[in-house]
Amino acid sequence: MTLERLDIHSLRNLQPTRWQPNAHINVVYGANASGKTSLLEAVHILGLGRSFRHKSLLSSIQHQQDSLHLYAKVRQKCGASYRLAIQRERQQERSLIYIQEQSVRTTAELAACLPIQLITPDSLRLLEGAPQLRRQYLDWGAFHAHAHFLPAWQGLQNALKQRNSLLKHAKIDPSYLQLWDNELIRYTQVVHQARLAYLEMLQPVFIQYLQALTLNLSIELTYYPGWDKKYEYSDALTSSRARDQAQGFTSLGAQRADLRIRYQGHNALNILSRGQQKLVVSALKLAQGALLTDKACVYLVDDLAAELDAQHRKNFCQLLVQQGKQVFMTCIDAKHLVPMETFSEADVSWFHVEQGQLTPVDFSRSIG
């Protein structure tokens, strides 16, 4: 799957842009505040319906403009192509999303067309942030690996919402509560099994990438399902019922799951240097991309040089090249920060961005 064309209108400081990127590696370089991250943001919005910088797309709309428009043509591995479009008006509550000019309501449909792996200096939050971020990471993989994951996940969210609203009432009809318990148990089993199956696939690939990035530490990924593993979820839910009623919400379940990243029995975060943490995050992201064999994904790598020294940047870029996926990476100074020797000339395109203007650059004349 490859982004063949990208049109950007009224996103942050970017000039109206029509971009025909390379099917493999695209390096965008330019000074601070030139618009590099905004270009990656455009791709991210097209793949997920939202920015990675803010919850609301409103701050992404260019000042003095009423709306932003993004359009992409995506070529699938099978040869078919998709046209994706997003429009966000300042005055509207939500974005309008179109696939093949048909309006769609959920961003899950976009995610299926344009899977994205994002690596930014903020990605370290995968280790240090709330469990929700690691759950989302795991669920991204389970979503792309198992077709039955999404409906089960949506069913689970609905059952949880219904059960929680019931728990807030002073008087609860036990048979009605049991009904939602049964729904919750049914969907939890599917989500839990899909997460477990995905993690089993992920573990060995993650270790391979860690080693390839020369981090030879025995980092372990362990999965907390959201309740004590010794028990079936149905038993855990029954035994927590009185507490749930007192608190007014469901305290145990897949909504509490976590992927724990451990080193020598401790939270890896407390022991690894920031550079090592960045390698762990890179290995996690590369492993997810590698497991996506039938669809492929686009890598967005913002600020390649952040936290990685020259040797680790080189290893990382070599692994990206080996995967053969489409990559958009940014850096301030292409000449000094990108290990050019890792890319063959046909595999890479260079783009300079200055005051929101994107210009293709002839590799040999301008950088060499």
In the complex, the residues that contact ligand ATP under the rule CB under 6 A are 12-13, 30, 32-38, 59, 61-63, 332
Nearest to 188 by CA among 153, 158, 147, 236: 153
Taking the least distance from each CB to ligand ATP, the nearer of 92 and 344 is 92
Taking the least distance from each CB to ligand ATP, the nearer of 35 and 141 is 35
Closest CB 206 distance from ligand ATP, rounded Å = 28
Neighbours of 351 (CB within 10 A): 21
Closest CB 40 distance from Mg ion, rounded Å = 8
* 8 A C-beta contact, residue 68 and residue 87: yes
Closest CB 349 distance from ligand ATP, rounded Å = 18
Distance CA 73, CA 114 (A): 10
Distance CA 69, CA 92 (A): 14
Contacts of residue 159, defined as CB under 8 A and 6 or more positions apart, other chains included, come to: 180, 183, 184, 187
- Binding residue per annotation — 342? no
Look up residue 262 and give its two tokens.
């451990």
Q: Which does 35 bind (CB under 5 to 8 A by kind): Mg ion, ligand ATP, none?
A: ligand ATP
Q: Which does 34 bind (CB under 5 to 8 A by kind): Mg ion, ligand ATP, none?
A: ligand ATP
Taking the least distance from each CB to ligand ATP, the nearer of 62 and 123 is 62
- Binding residue per annotation — 37? yes
Contacts of residue 341, defined as CB under 8 A and 6 or more positions apart, other chains included, come to: 314
- Binding residue per annotation — 268? no
Taking the least distance from each CB to ligand ATP, the nearer of 135 and 352 is 352
Closest CB 73 distance from ligand ATP, rounded Å = 23
CA 299 vs CA 104, 112, 179, 262: distances in Å: 24, 15, 43, 26
DSSP run (H or E) holding 259: strand 258-263
Tokens 């709309």 locate to: 61
- Binding residue per annotation — 349? no
Neighbours of 264 (CB within 10 A): 10
Binding site for Mg ion (CB under 5 A): 37
Closest CB 178 distance from Mg ion, rounded Å = 52
Taking the least distance from each CB to ligand ATP, the nearer of 54 and 94 is 54
- Binding residue per annotation — 35? yes
Which residues make up each annotated binding site?
30-37
Which residues make up each annotated binding site for ATP?
30-37
